[in-house]
């Protein structure tokens, strides 16, 4: 008789690593399959830092789950003694009517989150590298900061292994089948065939391929992360006094950045949050082009002029976008024994700890106490209901 796992997780990036961790902690027999190495740099979860924040401008219903994500990150950090989460404070900057500012204020009002509203003069005085327009304001929250994504993934994987999960790397999944609704799955890789009661597909920007039959409206976009050696010196950008920020200038795409931290080559990270260049993980242009750099410099030149120095590093990354930029976490329409987690739309990492908890709940109980109604695939009329 072949071994039948309780769960197989395909893709051990941000979401998959948290899921195998949660499942193994609950005593499940779990197999994780990943086509590359642990915490690799070919998907969506590399680049040394990811913003975490509570006053969620995208929708207030993210607030309870992000608060749970904080708890889980803090627990993982305490259990492993690793450095995962750095709270620096965060600024959401833009005109008062911008989504980033007005949406963040809405979330603080809905959930009573502590925050301050700063006018342009306050921003300049407290955070000297920023030179906002007079009509721009910011919501400041002390509990924002950043996670170290590669270390988060490594620790989730290490703890999962410690609790008995079998994790296979460099083993691409070629296909999966589920013959009968509710009755297990078979997964075929380049090395073997495996059976399980439940399958979790957390394959990031590869999801459009592996879920092609579902016709979900998800699309993958190329994004660039830049690290600058600040023209005005590094001191004003140190995390002791420089926050993470998200800036939505009037009529332009938004961008975001971090204090000086420890990217592979040092420097201060900044990136555009918007852009229209579609790609696939195979077709993405991983070279950094002149137009990438000029678009980045155009965003910061008049807003954070002292940052606009030499580029010390730049890397591509991928966003897997849904039309409304909310996630998809749901059961497969034909096979309740398959869960899908995709479409994290460039803001999923901070949630990965709690997404692991949700996916483990769905696999084991078929339901979760977290409110995930916003993430239903049924909201897309074009997708199969
Ligand atoms: C530049 C950039 C900046 C971002 N900034 C933030 C931020 O500040 N805050 C935030 O919260 N979020 C941010 N995000 C978004 C966040 O990083 C993503 O939403 C999240 O990492 C997605 O995780 P994932 O597990 O879906 O994908 P991934 O981490 O890419 O994992 C998918 C995994 O599946 C594997 N896989 C795929 N197909 C197969 C197969 N057939 N067989 C085996 N393995 C397979 C892949 O190799 C990969 O390891 C950012 C993303 C980018 C690109």
Name the one residue in this structure whose structure tokens are 């010196």.
Answer: 233
The pLDDT value recorded for residue 179 is 76
Ligand 1 midpoint to CA 41 (Å): 9
The verdict on the CB of residue 10 being under 6 Å from ligand 1 is: yes
25's tokens: 């902690």
What does the alpha-carbon distance between residue 239 and residue 257 come to, in Å, rounded to a whole number? Answer: 12
The verdict on the CB of residue 347 being under 6 Å from ligand 1 is: yes
Q: What is the mean pLDDT of residues 228-257?
A: 96
Ligand 1 midpoint to CA 362 (Å): 20
Ligand 1 midpoint to CA 17 (Å): 11
Residue 161: count of CB within 10 angstroms of its CB? 15
The verdict on the CB of residue 90 being under 6 Å from ligand 1 is: no
- Closest listed residue to residue 349, CA positions, set 7, 17, 3, 1: 17
Ligand 1 midpoint to CA 44 (Å): 3
pLDDT per residue as tens digits for the range 4-46: 999 999 999 999 999 999 999 999 999 999 999 999 999 999 9
Q: What is the mean pLDDT of residues 306-333?
A: 97
Task: Give the atom of ligand 1 at the shortest distance from the alpha carbon of 341.
Answer: 26
DSSP state of 205: G
227's tokens: 């690290």
Task: Give the atom of ligand 1 at the shortest distance from the alpha carbon of 225.
Answer: 1
CB 160 within 8 A of CB 17: yes
CB 52 within 8 A of CB 64: no
| Nearest CA residue ID for atom 37, ligand 1 | 203
Q: What is the mean pLDDT of residues 267-276?
A: 96
Listing DSSP states for 32-67 in one string gives EE-SS-TT-SSSSS-SS-EEE-SS-TT-GGGHHHHH
pLDDT per residue as tens digits for the range 121-178: 999 999 999 999 999 999 999 999 999 999 999 999 999 999 999 999 999 999 999 9
User: Side-chain half-sphere of 273: how many Cα atoms within 13 Å?
Assistant: 18
| Alpha-carbon 6 to chain mean position | 26
**Ligand 1: which of 20, 344, 352 to mutate, most ligand atoms within 8 Å of CB?**
344
The helix or strand, by DSSP H or E, that contains position 225, with its residue range, turns out to be strand 219-229
Mean pLDDT computed over every residue of the chain: 96
Residue 264 has pLDDT above 70, yes or no: no
pLDDT per residue as tens digits for the range 195-237: 999 999 999 999 999 999 999 999 999 999 999 999 999 999 9
**Ligand 1: which of 8, 10, 14 to mutate, most ligand atoms within 8 Å of CB?**
14
Burial call 77-101: b when 16+ CB within 10 Å, e when fewer: beebeeebbbbbbbbbbbbeebebb
The pLDDT value recorded for residue 266 is 84
Ligand 1 midpoint to CA 206 (Å): 9
Ligand 1 midpoint to CA 224 (Å): 14
The verdict on the CB of residue 271 being under 6 Å from ligand 1 is: yes
Residue 183 has pLDDT above 90, yes or no: no
Q: How far is CA 58 from CA 76, 346, 348, in A?
A: 26, 12, 12
Residue 81 has pLDDT above 90, yes or no: yes
Question: pTM above the 0.95 mark?
Answer: yes
What does the alpha-carbon distance between residue 236 and residue 131 come to, in Å, rounded to a whole number? Answer: 13
Residue 306 has pLDDT above 80, yes or no: yes
The pLDDT value recorded for residue 265 is 73
């Amino acid at each position: 008789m072949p071994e039948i796992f309780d769960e197989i997780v395909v893709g051990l990036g941000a979401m998959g690593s948290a899921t195998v961790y949660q499942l193994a902690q609950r005593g499940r027999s779990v197999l994780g399959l990943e086509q590359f190495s642990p915490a690799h740099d070919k998907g969506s979860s590399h680049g040394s830092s990811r913003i975490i924040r509570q006053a969620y401008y995208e929708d207030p219903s993210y607030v309870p789950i992000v608060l749970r994500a904080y708890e889980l990150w803090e627990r993982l950090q305490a259990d492993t003694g690793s450095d995962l989460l750095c709270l620096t404070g965060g600024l959401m900057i833009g005109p008062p009517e911008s989504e980033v500012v007005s949406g963040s204020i809405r979330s603080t009002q809905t959930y009573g989150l502590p925050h301050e509203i700063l006018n342009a003069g306050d921003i300049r005085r407290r955070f000297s590298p920023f030179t906002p327009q007079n009509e721009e304001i910011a919501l400041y929250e002390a509990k924002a900061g950043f996670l170290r994504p590669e270390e988060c993934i490594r620790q989730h994987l290490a703890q999962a292994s410690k609790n008995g999960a079998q994790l296979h790397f460099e083993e691409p999944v070629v296909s999966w089948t589920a013959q009968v609704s509710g009755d297990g799955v078979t997964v075929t890789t380049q090395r073997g065939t495996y059976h399980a009661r439940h399958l979790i597909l957390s394959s990031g920007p590869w999801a459009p391929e592996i879920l092609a039959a579902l016709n979900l409206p998800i699309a993958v976009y190329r994004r660039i992360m830049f690290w600058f050696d600040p023209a005005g010196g590094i001191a004003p950008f140190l995390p002791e006094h420089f926050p993470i920020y998200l800036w939505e200038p009037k009529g332009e795409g938004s961008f975001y950045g971090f204090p000086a931290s420890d990217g592979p080559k040092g420097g201060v990270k900044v990136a555009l949050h918007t852009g229209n260049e579609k790609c696939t993980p195979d077709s993405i242009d991983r070279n950094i082009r002149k137009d990438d750099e000029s678009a980045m410099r155009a965003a910061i030149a008049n807003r954070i002029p002292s940052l606009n120095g030499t580029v010390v590093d730049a890397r591509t990354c991928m966003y897997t976008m849904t039309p409304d930029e909310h996630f998809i976490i749901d059961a497969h329409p034909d096979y309740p024994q398959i869960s899908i987690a995709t479409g994290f739309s460039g803001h999923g990492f901070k949630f990965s700890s709690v997404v692991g908890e949700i996916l483990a709940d769905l696999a084991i109980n078929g339901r979760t106490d977290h409110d995930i109604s916003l993430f239903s695939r049924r909201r897309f009329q074009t997708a199969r209901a």
